[in-house]
Structure 1
């Protein structure tokens, strides 16, 4: 059934693109259906994250152990995302997707909305300070994931300290968590309609002809993402001693769903359940995946270091290695904590290219194809969450220790 649903999503993507091409005005008009679907998804993100985090932290039951898991999780995120940034930079310098591009053939998109959001890309000190919420209801309303996670960790510690007194409350949170997962399944019933409308609106607005002059950038981004999935993650799987084919079979359909919707949130509950069946304890998945949503977007990370040099190449700017290294450092900082910002990858890109002296107009050139590349990078984000959970569980020595090992076919059921 899940495999069939993945193909429904894929079919809706293709049909939506075709519909938007032949009926562009109608395609733009039905965007409201896609927007409604995205709103439904955003509506359930916070309930899923809050309940799963609190259940996971309470399930650990040991504050020292929780701190150890947190440190290992952050170390893993930083090492992997930094490695991916340099992979993207290397590919951009080898392929040179922006070299020889005729800028006259590209439309200039409006940067007004994106530019207004760059104020949310913060410096390191402000970012750390803003992780501490002054009003938990406010940060939940704003989908500020880092602040929400920080509060949940502290609240979870308080629950652990209460011991047996917290059990009735934790039981209620467990019920709320299960209800949140059911709500996700209910919302996902409308995914094919939402995906169809989003693709129709995208193609209806920008047109398929926009893709042609930017095929090299699209191809380079997909090449880089393939290197991450089939190269870097294959190497990681070898190091972790898990068969990469099992991982592919377990999550390929979730990657399709995530790609078609452009949202990792759509597959978080299913991803957690499958990883638990595969041998990752629930308290690991409940902590690592929510934390990884704002901190560990592997696909987005790679795209940024391809898009930055692309803009420089398109405008004939020769960036030195020192400038490129500075750009990477900016991406390391700015890519944290803006997951809730609309078009977050474009916001990060605009803020960074401006900071390193590249023309911001370059971002306007590629807004139209962002949706096409976003599909692939979201799929890679989903794949990255799998390895984050397995790596932390392995590091803790609990992989396949607290749950029974199952065959991949069962895990993907």
Structure 2
């Protein structure tokens, strides 16, 4: 019975039961959607204040703008390298597997609008990305449900505390205390993850059906292979830089990965991810900067998805994309993969923006992907989560941190 107390085991049970309910009783499965949506919304409501506190604390712990700036510069270089690797992995795998060749376009199920239920607000262009970063007021940054203005305000507050010196120490201590409180609240909420996974999976299977989802299985498989290729490259780079075993890294973050698998959102494991990275020896100041920044600028799963989905649609519609046009798409995707931060299902939003900027593939054709976007979103979230873990370890090692893989926790005697 001790096995069933493990969170990842409870998550697997929730996923299996959700699949059964959605397949056997599809009407009930669709009606269970609020369970999954409510859990993701509960997690998301905690993300803005946690991002604010961890970034501010990270800046203050660094003790100065110069060192903080160097760490951020290194992180951005790592993020760009990971994004380029993600785009190339997606292009190579999709070109080899050709998931859209010979596929007949399906009819989109009606009455489904997850973006509206989750309060998603899509970016309409690069200018909107900049405008979203600057909030209307200082406090509206925390009520808009968007991480971009939170990052902006957190940077201002962090450097402001450094500027005022000792006068800001009480505020810095209060922010650290608030961070601990938020982590405790997250610990309470995360226990409901199996229920959220049960509702989300039941809805997906009940709404779309196993058979219809299977008709787009090659697209899912292509994205999975491309993402797995990227993850293998990243974990290989981490091993080369830190001597950490990829298998032990995956085992260390096992619970978090299973939670992401069930919820299709990497945001929900943010606090646990940061805590476990610190357990590997990553300095709290680096964790507090790199992980939140990575949730905005290191969406590697989205980058892979943009390439795979675009090539899939072009093949399904019999639209040729010569190498020069594909190269232009990759350059555009280098930017658009960053433009949907803080939006659940952000990959689909970024895809619409990408297709709207280039005329080759009709934007409306992306509607067929909504049917399997929950599955694709899960793969994207898992990939982005592992990319952020890898990026944080690489930046920490670049900063000179001594990283050590903790020993497995021994089983208690019965």
TM-score (norm 1): 0.91
Query: Aligned equivalents of 1:112 and 1:14: distance in 2?
Result: 23
Tell me which moved more, 350-359 or 262-271.
350-359
* 1:62 Cα deviation after fit: 1.6
Q: Distance in 1 between matches of 2:50 and 2:213?
A: 36
Give the whole-Å Cα distance in 2 for the aligned partners of 1:117 and 1:326: 28
Q: Which residue of 1 aligns with 2:33?
A: 31
Moved more, 216-225 or 156-165: 156-165
The match for 1:304 is 306
Instruction: Name the residue aligned to 2:375.
Output: 372
Q: Kindly tell me: are residues 281 and 119 of structure 1, through their superposed partners in 2, closer, same or farther at Cα, counting changes over 3 Å?
A: closer
Shift of 1:224: 0.9
**Matched residues in 2 for 1:82 and 1:133: separation?**
30
Structure 2 SS opposite 1:388: helix
Instruction: Name the stretch that deviates more: 231-240 or 9-18.
Output: 231-240
Q: Is 1:22 equivalent to 2:24 in the alignment?
A: yes
Deviations 1:276-295 (A, max 9, x none): 11110000001111111121
Which deviations, in whole Å up to 9, do the C-alpha atoms of 1:349-403 show, x marking residues without a partner?
1221233220233311121111112222212222111111111111111234xxx
Q: Is the 8 A contact 2:200 2:262 kept in 1?
A: no
Match of 2:213 in 1: 211
Report Cα offsets for 1:314-353 as digits up to 9, x if no partner. 1111111121122222222222242233432111112212
In the TM superposition, what are the counterparts of 1:67-216 in structure 2 within 5 Å?
67-103=69-105, 106-109=106-109, 120-123=123-126, 127-128=129-130, 130-216=132-218
The residue that corresponds to 1:383 in the other structure is: 386
- Conserved 8 A contact 2:355-2:362: yes
- 2:8–2:255 Cα contact (<8 Å) kept: yes
Aligned position for 1:247: 249
Aligned to 2:335: 333
* Structure 1 portions without partners, runs of 5+: none
- Farther-moved stretch of structure 1 (277-286 vs 329-338): 329-338
Higher mean Cα deviation, 241-250 or 264-273? Answer: 241-250
Counterparts of 2:299 and 2:133 in 1: how far apart (Å)?
18
* Aligned with 2:363 (options 350, 360, 363): 360
Unpaired runs of at least 5, structure 2: none
| Counterpart for residue 398 of structure 2 | 395
Shift of the alpha carbon at 1:149? 0.8
Shift of 1:129: 5.2
Change (3 A) 1:150 1:14: same
Distance change (3 Å), C-alpha of 1:337 and 1:144: farther
Contact 1:323 1:356 in 2 (8 A): no
Secondary structure (helix, strand or coil) at the match of 1:409 reads coil
Question: Does residue 335 of structure 2 align to residue 322 of structure 1?
Answer: no
Aligned residues: 405
TM-score calculated relative to the size of structure 2 = 0.91
CA distance in 1, matches of 2:35, 2:120: 24
Cα shift at 1:9: 0.8
Partners of 1:209 and 1:101 in 2: how far apart?
15
When residues 112 and 92 of structure 1 are mapped into structure 2, their CA distance, relative to the original with a 3 A threshold, is same
Shift, 1:168, TM fit: 1.6
Matched residues in 2 for 1:339 and 1:276: separation?
Answer: 24
CA shift for structure 1 position 139 = 2.7
In the alignment, the residues of structure 1 paired with residue 216 and residue 340 of structure 2 have an alpha-carbon distance, to the nearest angstrom, of 26
- Aligned to 2:6, the other structure's residue is in SS state helix
